Amino acid sequence: MNNIKYSHMNHWKNIPYQRIDNFREFYYEDKTNSAYYTDWDRILRYQKALGFNGIELAPWDFPEMLPLFGSAKAFKDFANERGVEVSGVFHLIDKAHDRTHHKQTFEDGKQAIDLLVEFGGTQLNAAPINNYHGLGPLSRDQIKAAAEIITEVGKYATDKGVQIGIHNEFFLAINKENHREYLELTDPRYVHYCLDTAQVALLGEDMVKFYDDYHDRICTFHLKDTATPNLPDEIRYSKDIEIVDDGTRWFWEPGEGVLDFKGLYELMKKHQFKGWVTVETDGTPDLLASMALTRYYIDSELSTIYS
C-alpha cells in the first residue's frame, strides 16, 4: 500500500484554539464533547492515530486558521510535529464560464496555489465552476471558456510543483451532460482530475467505469459513499441542494452506501495508482466516528486488494 497515502478532508469547520492550556477547565465550561473538537492539537492527533498522515484544507478554514497560527507555514510546522502533512487545498474556479472575469479568476487561482505551496501541499482540488442553479445550462462556448481558464491556472500550478485536479460536484453547472466534454477540452499536461467517488455517482457516472476511462488523468481521490446515485435533473439543478436542512445525507462512509469500492481498488491496482487518497467525511453528524469507520473499512476490505 506504499503507493497510496491517506489524507482526511477537514470538515471540522472553525477550530478556534491552537492549544487548550487546561483541558479539564475548558471541558467544564459546557460539559459537552465540543471540547474535543475545538483544539487543533487533538484534531491532528485523531488523524494520526487513525492512520491519516495528511489533511486537506478548505478556504472556509483560513479566516480562523491563518490569524491563529500567523501563517500557513506555521500551521504546516505545527501539523508536521504531530506527524501530519497538508496534502492539498480545495478551491473554486469562480465564474469560469465568463471570459470577462478570467483575469480575476486566474489571480484567485494563483493566490490559492501560492498559499498551498506555503502549506507544503501538492494538490489543488478545484471545483470547475459555480452552481447550476442560476447559471445552467451552459452553451458550448461557456464550456470552452471554463476549460480554458482552468488550463491557465493549471499551467501556473505545474510551474509551482502543484497538480490541479478537477473536483466536480453533482450540483455544478459542469454537470452530467457536459462533464466529459469539459474534461476533454482541458490540457492533460496541466489539468488532472480529483475523483470524488460519491459526487460523480450522484452526477450520474459509474465511478468504476469513469476511473477506468480516465485513469491517466486521475491524480487523487475524495473517498466517500452514497446511497442515492444517478440523481434526477430536477434535484441536481435545484438551489442549494447540497446543504438542504431536512436531514438528507448525500454522503456516507465507504461501505455504508452502494458504491463498488472493491471494484475501484482492483482497477487502482491494475493501473498502479500512486498518490493521495483523501477521506472526506462530508455531512456526517459525528466526524470522529466516520473517520474511524472509514479507516476500518479501508484496512479490512480495501487494503488487501491493493497490496
Task: Count CA within 13 A, CB hemisphere, residue 202.
Answer: 26
Which amino acid makes up residue 120? G
pLDDT at 133: 95
pTM of the model: 0.95
C-alpha angle 65-71-76 in degrees, rounded to nearest 5: 80
Tens digits of per-residue pLDDT, 83-130?
Answer: 999 999 999 999 999 999 999 999 999 999 999 999 999 999 999 999
- pLDDT of 64 higher than 90: no
Cell numbers for 295: 479507516
Mean pLDDT, rounded, of the chain? 94
User: Which residue, among 88, 74, 69, 10, has the nearest Cα to 43 in the 3D structure?
Assistant: 10
pLDDT tens-digit readout, 173-230: 999 999 999 999 999 999 999 999 999 999 999 999 999 999 999 999 999 999 999 9
Task: Report pLDDT for 2.
Answer: 76
19 band by pLDDT with thresholds 50, 70 and 90 = confident
Lowest mean pLDDT of 89-93, 244-248, 266-270, 290-294, name the range.
Answer: 244-248
Q: Is residue 286 one of the residues assigned to a domain?
A: yes
Which residues are 194's β-sheet partners?
Answer: 220
Domain count, the chain: 1
Compute the distance between CA of residue 133 and CA of residue 148 in angstroms, rounded to an integer.
22
Residue 206 or residue 12, greater confidence: 206
For the cut 80, the answer to whether the pLDDT of residue 59 exceeds it is yes
pLDDT confidence of residue 47: 94
For residues 120 and 205, give the distance between their C-alpha atoms in angstroms, rounded to a whole number: 33
**Residue type, position 77, single letter:** D
Tell me how many helices (H) and strands (E) the chain has.
Answer: 12, 8
Helices assigned H by DSSP within 215-256: 233-236
Query: What's the pLDDT score for residue 34?
Result: 81
Residue 101's CATH number: 3.20.20.150
d(CA 115, CA 117): 5
The β-bridge partners of 277 are 6, 221
Helix locations, the chain, DSSP H:
23-30, 40-49, 62-69, 72-81, 102-119, 140-159, 179-185, 197-203, 207-214, 233-236, 261-270, 287-297
166: nearest Cα among 193, 135, 146: 193
| Residues counted in the chain | 307
Mean pLDDT of 255-262: 97
In a domain, 307, yes or no: no
Q: How far, in Å, CA of 145 to CA of 141, rounded?
A: 6
The answer to the question of residue 40 being in a domain is yes
Domain that holds residue 175: 4-302
User: Is pLDDT above 80 for 13?
Assistant: no
Residue 195 φ/ψ, nearest 5 degrees? -85, 105
The type of residue at 305 is I
DSSP bridge pairs for 221: 195, 277
Percent with pLDDT over 70 in the chain: 99
Instruction: Check residue 136 and report its DSSP letter.
Output: P
Residue 207 belongs to a domain: yes
